Structure 1
Amino acid sequence: MYSLSDFDFDLPQELIAQMPLPERSASRLLEVDGDRRADRSFADVVDLLAPGDLLVFNNTRVLKARFFGAKDSGGKVEVLVERVLDTRHVLAQVRASKSPRAGSRIRLADAFEVTVGERAGEFYTLQFPSDVFDLIDAHGRLPLPPYIEHAADDFDEKRYQTVYAKEPGAVAAPTAGLHFDQALLDRLQDKGVRFAYVTLHVGAGTFQPVRTENLAEHKMHSEWYTMPPETVEAVRAAHAAGRHVVAVGTTSMRALESASQSGTLAAGSADTTLFITPGYTFKTVDRMITNFHLPKSTLLMLVSAFAGYRQIRAAYAHAIEKRYRFFSYGDAMLLTKNTQC
């Protein structure tokens, strides 16, 4: 049985990528298949996939979800939208010297006021005066991960978004998808690789480390996903043809596996709190593309469950030795499911 300390590692600060590369597909790619590792470039993914393989992308779109403002008392406030509930209401983190009262008002971006509703765990319900998406797009700021040390600029607004982003609702990017540009997608399609899409709106909890040594005590953050019927059919067709289903990122993985808990992949929409740790039996995904993840994170536990704990430890040690770039703007891995786990 693994514990939290089993997923810790030392990472040199200079390996945390602070900016994306000028070209999306110019990242490095570490291929991991059991104990075999190969250093490649990300564009090599075309050669590593076969005609009929299915890439499953998360088409969520990152919101400009961060706001700075002031309470009606004058106190400064920082708001991070976690989830859009409907066209007028959101769940949000509210950072202030004193917790806001239900019914009080907060002025955001010196542009509009929201009304504070009831508290829901660590979040507050906020009522917007008009369409949530319009106000977020017009006045919000892109919420870069906490380990990126510069404020988001116009370049980040373009690059911290996949080229196929469609459904607004995430507060963090599905970063494995950031490596794909349109030219690479065209090359994959020309080869006969098939594409399908899920939507999982990534929450800020994706950056939170696990804080309990006993993993069974960890409460996974909740995220909303949608599994379209056409994606279910594409997965079934790929497997029927003996081809691989390849999750692009841990978010696509979580959506696919969450929708497979009955034993077979099913269409629909739901909240997921699925916490994947070593010992989990994967039901749908055969391979995955993913970035390098934070120590003690649920994402590191997920990839360890998929590719093998020992194999991931060795791969991360190799990546550090070879100076791969880590986290959201960093390099990637192509992992094959380890059936010996």
Structure 2
Amino acid sequence: MHPKALSILDFTYTLPDDRIARFPLEARDQSRLLVYRGGQISETVYVSLAGELPGGSLLVFNNTKVVEARLLFQKNTGSIIEIFCLEPHEQYPDITSAMLEKGKVWWKCLVGGAKKWKEPVLHKALSDSGIVLSAKKIEQRADHYIIELSWNDANLSFAELLHLAGALPLPPYLNRAAEESDKERYQTIYARYDGSVAAPTAGLHFTDAVFASLSQKNIRHEFVTLHVGAGTFKPVKSATMEEHDMHAEFIDVPLSVIEKLLQQWPDTIVPVGTTSLRTIESLYWLGVKTILHPDIQPAALHLTQWEPYQLKHEAISPSLALQSLINWMQQHQLQKLLTKTQIIMAPGYTLKIAKGLITNFHQPQSTLLLLVAAIVGDDWKRIYNYALEHGFRFLSYGDGCLLMSDIV
């Protein structure tokens, strides 16, 4: 069956409210880890991950950093207007550039209480700093607004301004306000580049102790950047996946990392988190596009959601695709690949570069659950039933699983 014909109703399960982890464990690496390999299920904890992977493996992490994307403006009447910053306006080439803007930016935003916003401009004073943040509606689009955000300190970048003025956007299913502890715990210890509105949560379990034990077994790691958008929480409302518009996300991958992936393949490569998986699998398809369209220009090299099921790739191995992408980047004198991916991975998709996945337990009827099913097939039901029956904690602050694919 083509993934377009899949019904999201076939990817549901009952998730009791008390199984959603509202807060993380005190020790990151003591979270439980379900291991699925060769159809068998076992258990361990994250601090013992090295024992579950072959020596010489390569792990790929997403080093994006969650930004304080929730901006609250209180009107004179006392009512609150919430502006949720999604991603930069298309005038900016990438998120990093937009985050470094000073004085003013245009941003795609959701607006809570939009009907109450009658004033031309909203203002927010930042405590005793003398800094004032202003918000102006520029355009209303189908599912978001274009908001001009400006501030009266020309030395502050937008990233710095958000750190001062905003609040962390915890997932809605946690059903609580962000607390001081979330500033540390809702970031990975290796978070580096501002831009996400949700954490790459599989990485929240990793500590220096875990990295040290991996290193002792010659398990290496590399970093890519995919800035997680609010679309990761977007529910699937269509009858079939064909009508679902998969969210597009910015990726930023150094040339050196693509070269490391080429050197590693076909040995074990395991991404940590669905965002890392979507990134490295997208690299294969972008490489395919450089083979099929060798004259393609950087501005045109991106991936739409159904292209992996349409491109003529049968004779193109991962090594050929990665080498072509490397050659293309060198031809265009690019040290980084900055683009967008809209890839949707669902049953019917076959992994090209990854040999498995480390991830958390995901919501029913979500595109993330479809991705898990693409790796383990119908066994996703058995895995999730086991986790529910054995007390695993679910969603962003919950436990996780290592899923090794037999379909490689």
Q: TM-score range by the shorter chain?
A: over 0.9
The question of whether the paired residues in 2 share the 8 Å contact of 1:34 and 1:311 is answered with: no
Measure, in 2, the Cα distance between the counterparts of 1:178 and 1:238: 25
1:89 shift after superposition: 2.6
Match of 2:145 among 124, 140, 146: 124
The question of whether the paired residues in 1 share the 8 Å contact of 2:21 and 2:394 is answered with: yes
What is residue 247 of structure 2 aligned with on the other side?
A: 221
Measure, in 1, the Cα distance between the counterparts of 2:284 and 2:141: 29
Tell me the TM-score normalized by structure 1. 0.93
Q: Where do residues 267-282 of structure 1 align in structure 2 (5 Å cutoff)? A: 268-282=337-351
Change (3 A) 1:284 1:108: farther
What is residue 137 of structure 1 aligned with on the other side?
A: 163
The question of whether the paired residues in 2 share the 8 Å contact of 1:118 and 1:125 is answered with: yes
Measure, in 1, the Cα distance between the counterparts of 2:393 and 2:58: 27
1:59 shift after superposition: 0.3
Measure, in 2, the Cα distance between the counterparts of 1:157 and 1:63: 10
Change (3 A) 1:260 1:100: farther
2:251 aligned with 1:235: no
Q: Which has the larger radius of gyration?
A: 2
Measure, in 2, the Cα distance between the counterparts of 1:155 and 1:75: 27
Secondary structure of the equivalent of 1:147? helix
Change (3 A) 1:99 1:234: farther
Measure, in 1, the Cα distance between the counterparts of 2:159 and 2:247: 23
Tell me the TM-score normalized by structure 2. 0.78
2:362 aligned with 1:293: yes
Q: Where do residues 103-252 of structure 1 align in structure 2 (5 Å cutoff)? A: 104-108=120-124, 111-130=132-151, 131-239=157-265, 242-252=266-276
The question of whether the paired residues in 1 share the 8 Å contact of 2:47 and 2:209 is answered with: no
Measure, in 1, the Cα distance between the counterparts of 2:141 and 2:406: 39
What is residue 260 of structure 1 aligned with on the other side?
A: 284
Measure, in 2, the Cα distance between the counterparts of 1:256 and 1:100: 42
Q: Choose 47-56 or 60-69, whichever is displaced more.
A: 47-56
1:166 shift after superposition: 0.3
2:45 aligned with 1:37: no
What is residue 283 of structure 1 aligned with on the other side?
A: 352
Secondary structure of the equivalent of 2:150? coil
1:72 shift after superposition: 8.9
Measure, in 2, the Cα distance between the counterparts of 1:109 and 1:185: 42
Going by fraction, where is helix more abundant, 1 or 2?
2
Measure, in 2, the Cα distance between the counterparts of 1:291 and 1:64: 23
The question of whether the paired residues in 2 share the 8 Å contact of 1:54 and 1:234 is answered with: no
Measure, in 1, the Cα distance between the counterparts of 2:44 and 2:267: 22
1:226 shift after superposition: 1.2
Q: Choose 170-179 or 261-270, whichever is displaced more.
A: 261-270
| Deviations 1:79-131, CA, capped at 9 Å, x for gaps | 11111452223221112241858x93222466421222223431222222243
Match of 1:23 among 23, 27, 45: 27
Q: Choose 162-171 or 51-60, whichever is displaced more.
A: 51-60
Measure, in 2, the Cα distance between the counterparts of 1:72 and 1:229: 51
Secondary structure of the equivalent of 1:226? strand
Measure, in 1, the Cα distance between the counterparts of 2:76 and 2:63: 38
Measure, in 2, the Cα distance between the counterparts of 1:17 and 1:105: 39
What is residue 311 of structure 2 aligned with on the other side?
A: none
2:72 aligned with 1:68: yes
| Deviations 1:264-292, CA, capped at 9 Å, x for gaps | 24461211111111001221111110000
Change (3 A) 1:109 1:326: farther
1:73 shift after superposition: 9.1
| Deviations 1:20-40, CA, capped at 9 Å, x for gaps | 000000000011124211111
2:395 aligned with 1:327: yes
| Deviations 1:197-227, CA, capped at 9 Å, x for gaps | 1100001111122111211110011111112
Match of 1:13 among 14, 17, 30: 17
Match of 1:96 among 85, 104, 113: 113
Change (3 A) 1:99 1:124: farther
The question of whether the paired residues in 2 share the 8 Å contact of 1:278 and 1:305 is answered with: yes
1:67 shift after superposition: 1.3
For structure 1, list consecutive stretches of 5 or more residues without a partner in the other structure.
none
Q: What code does the residue aligned with 1:126 have?
A: I
1:70 shift after superposition: 4.3
Tell me the percent identity.
38
For structure 2, list consecutive stretches of 5 or more residues without a partner in the other structure.
90-97, 127-131, 152-156, 289-315, 326-335
Measure, in 2, the Cα distance between the counterparts of 1:35 and 1:192: 26
Secondary structure of the equivalent of 2:86? strand
Q: Choose 66-75 or 46-55, whichever is displaced more.
A: 66-75
Secondary structure of the equivalent of 2:173? coil
2:80 aligned with 1:59: no
Q: Choose 290-299 or 34-43, whichever is displaced more.
A: 34-43
Measure, in 2, the Cα distance between the counterparts of 1:10 and 1:46: 32
What is residue 79 of structure 1 aligned with on the other side?
A: 83
The question of whether the paired residues in 2 share the 8 Å contact of 1:65 and 1:140 is answered with: yes
Measure, in 2, the Cα distance between the counterparts of 1:173 and 1:181: 16
The question of whether the paired residues in 2 share the 8 Å contact of 1:34 and 1:307 is answered with: no
The question of whether the paired residues in 1 share the 8 Å contact of 2:108 and 2:146 is answered with: yes
Measure, in 1, the Cα distance between the counterparts of 2:402 and 2:36: 6
Secondary structure of the equivalent of 2:172? coil
Q: What code does the residue aligned with 2:254 have?
A: P
Measure, in 1, the Cα distance between the counterparts of 2:48 and 2:376: 20
Aligned residues: 336
